[in-house]
């Protein structure tokens, strides 16, 4: 006969939860790294949205942004580590997304 394993309700791992409105990146990285990743993520998501709404093929999108088709594929797959912040800003500007930065204290 198999012994029953007693489980505590709701206990599945660490009890830490990220506060509402706060990025999980702030829990995983230093403040500086999290800030850079959040900005890169926002730019990458904007580019992904632009690609989806533009209905351009990857080749046409690559021509429009001045990159290779492989780079467009990286954007579509969300490969954040394949892009520097500088390149994401330039690509967003080329796409007409008007990237801006706002600082808060």
* Architecture per CATH, 25-94: Orthogonal Bundle (1.10)
Q: What is the secondary structure of 42-97 as a DSSP string? A: HHHHHHHHHHHHHT--HHHHHHHHTS-HHHHHHHHTT-GGG--HHHHHHHHHHTT-
Residue with tokens 């999108």: 61
pTM of the model: 0.74
Query: Angle at the Cα of 26 (from 24 to 30), degrees rounded to 5?
Result: 145
How far does the chain reach from its first CA to its final CA, in angstroms?
A: 62
According to the model, what pLDDT value does residue 4 have? 55
pLDDT by position in tens, the chain (length 105) = 555 555 555 555 555 555 555 677 777 888 899 889 999 999 999 999 999 999 999 999 999 999 999 999 999 999 999 999 999 999 999 999 999 988 887
* Burial (CB count <10 Å: 0-12, 13-18, 19+), residue 65: buried
């Amino acid at each position: 006969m198999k012994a029953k394993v007693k489980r505590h309700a709701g206990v599945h791992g660490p009890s830490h939860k990220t506060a509402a409105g706060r990025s999980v990146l702030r829990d995983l990285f230093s403040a500086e790294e999290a800030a850079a990743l959040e900005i890169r993520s926002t730019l990458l998501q904007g580019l992904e949205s632009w690609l989806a709404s533009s209905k351009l093929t990857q080749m046409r999108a690559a021509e429009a942004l001045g990159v290779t088709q492989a780079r467009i594929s990286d954007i579509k797959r969300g490969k954040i580590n394949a892009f520097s912040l500088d390149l994401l800003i330039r690509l967003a500007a080329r796409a007409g997304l008007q990237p801006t930065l706002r600082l808060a204290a």
